[in-house]
Amino acid sequence: MTTITAYGPPGRLTDMGDVGLKAWNVFIGDSVDQAIDGPDPSQVLHDSPRPQFYNLTKTETAPDAVEAAVTWTAFPNRLRSAVSDRQRWQRADASRDVQDEYCEWSVTRNDSGKITRVTFTCEGPEYWDVLAQTSPDKALELYRTHISPTVQRSDLFGPDGRYLRRNKWNDSTTQGAMHLIQQANTLGAEIELAAAATIRRVIGGRELTGAQELIACGKYGVAERNSDPHIGEVVNGIARQKADIALSDPVGLYFDDLATDGWRAPDGSDPKSFWIFHRGDADHPVRAVYEVPADRNFTVGDITINGRPIEFGAQIADFVTIKLTAVACRLGRSTAQPQTACAKPPARDEFTPGAFSPGALSSHGYLGTHPDQASRSTRLSS
Amino acid sequence: MCLWDRTPERRRATAWPTAATAAAADEHGRLERGTLHRGVSGVDQGPVPMSADDLAGLKDPMAAVFFQQGQWPMTLEDVLDGLTRADALPVQCVYMISEAGQITPDEAPGLRRDLRFAVTRAAPGADPDLLVSSDPDSAFLQVAAWDPAAQVFNYYMRISPTWVWTGNSWSALAPESRGKGCFDSHVNGSVVMKELRQPWSNWQSMAATIQLPPDDPLRDNPLYQRVIGAERLELTVKGLVSRWTTARLAAVVDDGMVRHPDHLLRQLFTTTTVNLASTSTQSTTVGPDSGDLVLPLGFWLNADALINDLGLPVSAETVPAAPASLYADSLAAFGFRLQERASDFSRQGDTFFAFVIPEAAHEDNDVVRQLVAQGLVPARFAACALMVDFTNPVFSPARSHLMTYVPTEPVPASAWCTDIAAAIVAAAATLPADSPEGEFARNWSLPEARWRSVFAERVDAYLEKAAARIRTTSGFRDCTRLAESRRRAFQAMKLNEFELTLPTTDIPADAPPLRMNEDGTVTAQTDGGSP
């Protein structure tokens, strides 16, 4: 039986100093605790508490613990209703705001318009909030290393000194992608989703088991995404085994794999060899670049997928999978009772998200997000 | 019926008549232990020992790791462990499928689950070279293995106490064995995954997890614990289909001549096989207040071939969608239910994912795509053919009729398509305008610079009308009848193995086959082109 002493940074990154690491631990711990509590019943009914979700720093993980990876495709499912592949690839490459599967990317082209590099990130924005506030020089250095040597401090910070998640170097699909910025792509939302999905739902005497019926009832995300219903289904499936569940440390979203079935490079080389992780440790990569080394006489745009050249970053996203990892223990021992109704706002009350207070982190260096980002993180935002 | 079809070690196919397995089991006793047999349905009278020369000629990993070494793995685990011990194809992916996988065991305790594993093995950085299909008890065990020397998939089946080579990719195309034995599903010689598109119905995937009781012993099975989503297998199968298509085209074009032109062009003009598509919506979540139900694009047309591969500049941006209430009403109106007679199981409602339909097969489209990409078939010719009765992407008698004009003997690669087009155009002169020949001739008369835009305008006009029609009760019910008509055409194929793959309805068994028209209406099927 063990607890961990502190939640570590995503990908076991080594950017932060002591203050940042402490702030990060507080942020994740508080987010988990808030997710365990769930929303106030005055705001949402039948969605709290979540007794099968636990905090790794406070509750012991039992010896029967098993890890479960949940994986999904990075290409945004909500764009799949396009009539042609070209349409959906164009739409996905057009804006970071539609890249809502916890993976965002930016495409670099040469003078002839051919793709030379595609940068993928699954780093949550909260990590960068903390890093930029506690180690601004490091944040600037990382931008200069991974995005452009010409990045200026004033590009990243507002007049009040706050870090700008959506800055000129991290706000498009062409200028670079340092971390996630799509509104629903936050670690807070990941934690909230996983916690909410631990609630078993028995409706009309039948226990819900399907991904779509669970998300429709639990209202923890958007049913049309790849990620939200799948995460919820897997987590709930573990909950139905009467286990306690936590997100594994380090909490984060990670690259699972790039499949290259049907890919061909002009020189016959392995197309997967051009997929390089740039941040995160080997088991928890958070930044990947697809780029052909300069000493080859071809570029990414010359590689074909089932006979078709790569013209869009989204074509690669079709083959990228993202993952999170949960840990389950005390299997068969939870006494938590299922909810017998679906989550819903109380009668006559408008649903208003509960306030998430970043103030608790201030003594540890976490200065909080912008006021418009300070409410409970959920995957329900567009 | 050959041993392959009758053996009790064949996968249980609930949609097929019960085979005389007891008699077949007796035949197992005639198989020689420790010897690879050959038994190609339609060619061999029964399994016979393979000659030493033939065995030595097999260069796939199954033959190299096991049979040529005198090893005879009898279980799925034996196969996988043997590969690992030989340090062969170390990259393994495990997938799982069950047509009953979304019917919870407590809901139907008497229903057999028929869970099966599909396992791929690959060298690092390469596409898989070996695929195994089996079940947790290894009651059946089948392998497709790529032979890099012969550039074919070899197909093997364990029939205790040994293994039988049941043919290779070319056997699928040879008249004597086409559609027989394992080639009832490997129709054109490649590996197959019927539910190849999201949401990969029946497979465990990111769209749906197969339901197991908390105490199911399968949870302790090491392979089950490694199951990953079928979204990955889709990519693998598409890559392997393309691998075989590439090899096949390289072999059939020789010295400027195309051998067996009919074998190639039947994949343009006819429906040699199908994939199954559906909405991504769980049918039981659809209620009167649900949002619109986006029907599978493959129901409306062969968009993969016409738009993605041949590049029609279609303006439509969304797939036609119907009010969910119409779908929900249709389930009651037509008596939708799932049933498996062998288990005496019946339940009201549709399949787990709503509105399953057969759509144009990826393997047919891949042949057309590669023929065009290699310059063997002009894009215009392929488009003119596919635009005949294009509103019926599968089972079109009109398009199939045009096979009449495809020669069976070798033809010069430089002119075969223009010769076929000329023959059709000549015939059209004496036939009605709405004949398939007439429609092809009109398509073919379009100038090179305009055919794409003209065809795209037709597709756009059709999708606009269809989108309006399915928002009406009568229009949606017509589409429901049409979907059932196409499902029944699929059910007539040996590819249809499991009753639970498709819903059953109250639509009379003798209802006439239906067709979609360009104005979005549905009428009885004819042999003509688009009215």
Q: For residue B49, count other CB atoms closer than 10 A to its CB.
A: 14
Whether B282 sits inside 8 A of A212 (CB atoms) is yes
**Which residues from B are below 8 Å from A338, CB to CB?**
none
A378 within domain boundaries: no
Asked if A321 is an interface residue toward chain B (Cβ–Cβ < 8 A), one would say yes
Element (H, E) at B116: strand B116-122
Total domain count, chain A: 1
Asked if B308 is an interface residue toward chain A (Cβ–Cβ < 8 A), one would say yes
Tell whether B355 and B461 lie within a shared domain: yes
Q: What mean pLDDT is predicted for residues A288-301?
A: 97
Residues 80-109 of B with CB under 8 A from A: 102, 104
Are residues B193 and B233 in contact, defined by beta-carbon separation less than 8 angstroms?
yes
Are residues A83 and B298 in contact, defined by beta-carbon separation less than 8 angstroms?
no
Tell whether B220 and B295 lie within a shared domain: no
Phi/psi at B338 (5° precision): -105, 135
A377 within domain boundaries: no
B16 within domain boundaries: yes
- Give the pLDDT confidence score for residue A363 in this predicted structure: 43
Taking the CA of residue B296 and the nearest CA in chain A, the distance in Å comes to 9
Taking the CA of residue A3 and the nearest CA in chain B, the distance in Å comes to 25
Strand B37-38 to B162-168 pairing: parallel
Are residues B331 and B312 in contact, defined by beta-carbon separation less than 8 angstroms?
no
At B430, is the secondary structure helix, strand, or coil?
coil
- Give the pLDDT confidence score for residue B255 in this predicted structure: 87
The CA-to-CA distance between both ends of chain A, in Å, stands at 40
Residues 391-420 of B with CB under 8 A from A: none
B228, closest residue in chain A (CA to CA): A71
Please tell me the pTM assigned to this model. Answer: 0.94
Q: What mean pLDDT is predicted for residues A79-104?
A: 97
Are residues A23 and A365 in contact, defined by beta-carbon separation less than 8 angstroms?
yes
Query: In sequence order, what are the residues at sequence separation of 6 or more whose Cβ sits closer than 8 angstroms to the Cβ of residue B439?
Result: B387, B388, B389, B398, B528, B529, B530
Asked if A83 is an interface residue toward chain B (Cβ–Cβ < 8 A), one would say yes
B242 within domain boundaries: no
A329 falls in which pLDDT band (50, 70, 90)? very high
A380 within domain boundaries: no
Phi/psi at B355 (5° precision): 65, 65
Positive or negative torsion for Cα A324, A330, A332, A333: negative
3-state secondary structure B88-115: CCCEEEEEEECCCCCCCCCCCCCCCCCC
Distance (Å, whole) CA A7 – CA A187: 13
Tell whether B393 and B274 lie within a shared domain: yes
Strand B141-147 to B130-134 pairing: antiparallel
Phi/psi at B228 (5° precision): -115, 175
E strand spans, chain A:
66-73, 104-109, 115-121, 202-203, 206-207, 244-247, 254-258, 263-264, 275-279, 287-291, 304-305, 308-309, 320-329
A362 falls in which pLDDT band (50, 70, 90)? very low
Lowest-pLDDT range, A25-39, A350-364, B105-119?
A350-364
DSSP string for residues in A25-49: HHHHHHHHHHHHH-S-TTTSBS---
Tell whether B223 and B355 lie within a shared domain: no
What's the CA angle centered on B137, arms B136 and B143, to 5 degrees?
75
Are residues A285 and A42 in contact, defined by beta-carbon separation less than 8 angstroms?
no
Phi/psi at A68 (5° precision): -130, 120
Residue to test with chain B: of A71, A83, A238, most B Cβ within 10 A: A83
Asked if A270 is an interface residue toward chain B (Cβ–Cβ < 8 A), one would say yes
Q: In chain A, what percentage of residues exceed pLDDT 70?
A: 92
Tell whether B272 and B146 lie within a shared domain: no
Tell whether B124 and B273 lie within a shared domain: no
Residue A365 has pLDDT above 80, yes or no: no
Distance (Å, whole) CA B93 – CA A321: 14
Tell whether B293 and B170 lie within a shared domain: no
Asked if A74 is an interface residue toward chain B (Cβ–Cβ < 8 A), one would say no
- Return the exposure string of A86-118: e unless at least 16 CB atoms fall within 10 Å of the residue's CB, then b: bbbbebbbbebebbbbbbbbbbbbeeeeebbbb
Tell whether B227 and B292 lie within a shared domain: no
Asked if A306 is an interface residue toward chain B (Cβ–Cβ < 8 A), one would say yes
Sheet containing A104-109: order of strands: A104-109, A115-121, A287-291, A275-279
B40 within domain boundaries: yes
Q: For residue B217, count other CB atoms closer than 10 A to its CB.
A: 10
From the number of C-beta atoms within 10 Å of its C-beta (0-12, 13-18, 19+), residue A278 rates as middle
Tell whether B408 and B328 lie within a shared domain: yes
Q: pLDDT tens, A95-153?
A: 999 999 999 999 999 999 999 999 999 999 999 999 999 999 999 999 999 999 999 99
Whether B285 sits inside 8 A of A216 (CB atoms) is yes
| 10-residue averages of pLDDT along chain B (531 residues) | 60 64 58 94 94 98 98 97 98 97 86 92 95 94 98 97 97 97 96 97 97 90 96 97 97 93 98 98 91 96 98 96 96 96 92 98 98 97 98 98 97 96 98 97 97 98 98 98 98 93 96 97 81 53
Asked if B294 is an interface residue toward chain A (Cβ–Cβ < 8 A), one would say yes
DSSP string for residues in B48-104: EEPPHHHHHH--SHHHHHTGGGT----SHHHHHHHHHHTT---EEEEEEE-TTTTS-
Residue A371 has pLDDT above 50, yes or no: no
B144 within domain boundaries: yes
Query: Could you tell me how many residues make up chain A?
Result: 382
Residue to test with chain A: of B129, B206, B282, most A Cβ within 10 A: B206
A382 within domain boundaries: no
For tokens 């019917």, the residue is: B103
**Which residues from B are below 8 Å from A210, CB to CB?**
102, 208, 282, 284-285, 352
**Containing structural domain, residue B179:** 3-236
- Give the pLDDT confidence score for residue A351 in this predicted structure: 42
Q: For residue A140, count other CB atoms closer than 10 A to its CB.
A: 17
Sheet containing B411-412: order of strands: B253-254, B257-258, B411-412
- Give the pLDDT confidence score for residue B2 in this predicted structure: 54
B219, closest residue in chain A (CA to CA): A241
**Containing structural domain, residue A269:** 1-372
A77, closest residue in chain B (CA to CA): B198
Q: Given B125, B238, B369, which is nearest A272 (Cβ)?
A: B125
- Give the pLDDT confidence score for residue B370 in this predicted structure: 97
Query: In sequence order, what are the residues at sequence separation of 6 or more whose Cβ sits closer than 8 angstroms to the Cβ of residue B385?
Result: B268, B269, B399, B402, B440
Q: In chain A, what percentage of residues exceed pLDDT 90?
A: 90
Tell whether B224 and B266 lie within a shared domain: no
A359 falls in which pLDDT band (50, 70, 90)? very low
Query: In sequence order, what are the residues at sequence separation of 6 or more whose Cβ sits closer than 8 angstroms to the Cβ of residue B384?
Result: B421, B440, B443, B444, B446, B451
Query: Which two structure tokens, joined as six digits, stand for A355?
Result: 């306030």
Q: Given B242, B303, B463, which is nearest A306 (Cβ)?
A: B242
DSSP string for residues in B484-520: HHHHHHHHTSTT---GGGS-B-SS-TTPPPEEE-TTS
Are residues B4 and B166 in contact, defined by beta-carbon separation less than 8 angstroms?
yes
Distance (Å, whole) CA B230 – CA A228: 17
- Give the pLDDT confidence score for residue B215 in this predicted structure: 86
Domain stops at, among B178, B201, B236: B236
Q: For residue A282, count other CB atoms closer than 10 A to its CB.
A: 8
List alpha helices for B374-450, DSSP H.
379-386, 397-401, 416-428, 436-444
Taking the CA of residue B278 and the nearest CA in chain A, the distance in Å comes to 13
Distance (Å, whole) CA B48 – CA B50: 6
Are residues B204 and B118 in contact, defined by beta-carbon separation less than 8 angstroms?
no
B285 within domain boundaries: yes
Residue A366 has pLDDT above 80, yes or no: no
β-partners of residue A344 are A45
Using only C-alpha atoms, chain A has a radius of gyration, in whole angstroms, of 21
A361 falls in which pLDDT band (50, 70, 90)? very low
Query: Which two structure tokens, joined as six digits, stand for B475?
Result: 């229009």
Query: In sequence order, what are the residues at sequence separation of 6 or more whose Cβ sits closer than 8 angstroms to the Cβ of residue B236?
Result: A259, A261, B93, B120, B127, B128
**Which residues from B are below 8 Å from A234, CB to CB?**
209
Size of interface A-B (CB pairs under 8 A): 99
Q: pLDDT tens, A258-274?
A: 999 999 999 999 999 99
- Give the pLDDT confidence score for residue B106 in this predicted structure: 81
A348 within domain boundaries: yes
Tell whether B279 and B405 lie within a shared domain: yes
A379 within domain boundaries: no
Q: Given B242, B285, B317, which is nearest A83 (Cβ)?
A: B317
Taking the CA of residue B363 and the nearest CA in chain A, the distance in Å comes to 12
Q: What mean pLDDT is predicted for residues A222-245?
A: 97
Q: What mean pLDDT is predicted for residues A292-305?
A: 97
Asked if A273 is an interface residue toward chain B (Cβ–Cβ < 8 A), one would say yes
Strand B257-258 to B253-254 pairing: antiparallel
**Which residues from B are below 8 Å from A240, CB to CB?**
214
Total domain count, chain B: 2
Q: What mean pLDDT is predicted for residues A223-237?
A: 97
Are residues B191 and B49 in contact, defined by beta-carbon separation less than 8 angstroms?
no
A381 within domain boundaries: no
Phi/psi at B293 (5° precision): -105, 115
Residues 436-455 of B with CB under 8 A from A: none
A34 within domain boundaries: yes
Phi/psi at B510 (5° precision): -95, 15
Taking the CA of residue A321 and the nearest CA in chain B, the distance in Å comes to 9
Taking the CA of residue A272 and the nearest CA in chain B, the distance in Å comes to 7
Query: Which two structure tokens, joined as six digits, stand for B25?
Result: 């089991």
Distance (Å, whole) CA A246 – CA B110: 36
B241 within domain boundaries: no
- Give the pLDDT confidence score for residue B361 in this predicted structure: 98
Tell whether B211 and B266 lie within a shared domain: no
- Give the pLDDT confidence score for residue B24 in this predicted structure: 58
